[in-house]
Amino acid sequence: MPEPTLNYVSCPDAHGGHRMAYWQWGKPQAGHVVMCVHGLARQGRDFDVLAQALCARGRDDVRVVCPDVVGRGRSDWLKDPMGYQLPAYAADMLVLLQQLQPATLDWVGTSMGGLIGLGLSGQPELPLPAPIRRLVLNDVGPVVQWQALQRIGSYLGQPVRFQSLEQAADALWVISSSFGPHTREQWLALTRPMIKPATDAAGGFVLHYDPAIALPFKALTQEAATQGEAVLWRLYDAIRARTLLIRGAQSDLLSTETAAAMTQRGPKARLVEFAGVGHAPTLIAPDQVQVVSDFLFAEA
Q: How far apart are the first and last CA of the chain?
A: 32
Pairwise CA distance, residues 69 & 5, whole Å: 16
pLDDT of residue 1: 57
pLDDT of residue 292: 98
- Structure pTM? 0.97
User: How many other CB atoms are found less than 10 A from the CB of residue 177?
Assistant: 11
Pairwise CA distance, residues 182 & 219, whole Å: 33
Assign residue 209 a region (left: φ > 0; alpha: ψ between -120 and 50; beta: otherwise): beta
One pLDDT digit (tens) per residue for the chain, 300 residues: 589 999 999 999 999 999 999 999 999 999 999 999 999 999 999 999 999 999 999 988 999 999 999 999 999 999 999 999 999 999 999 999 999 999 999 999 999 999 999 999 999 999 999 999 999 999 999 999 999 999 999 999 999 999 999 999 999 999 999 999 999 999 999 999 999 999 998 899 999 999 999 999 999 999 999 999 999 999 999 999 999 999 999 999 999 999 999 999 999 999 999 999 999 999 999 999 999 999 999 986
Topology, domain 5-153+227-297: Rossmann fold (3.40.50)
Residues contacting residue 74 through CB under 8 Å, at least 6 positions apart: 6, 21, 68
Decide: 42 and 156 in contact? Cβ < 8 Å.
no
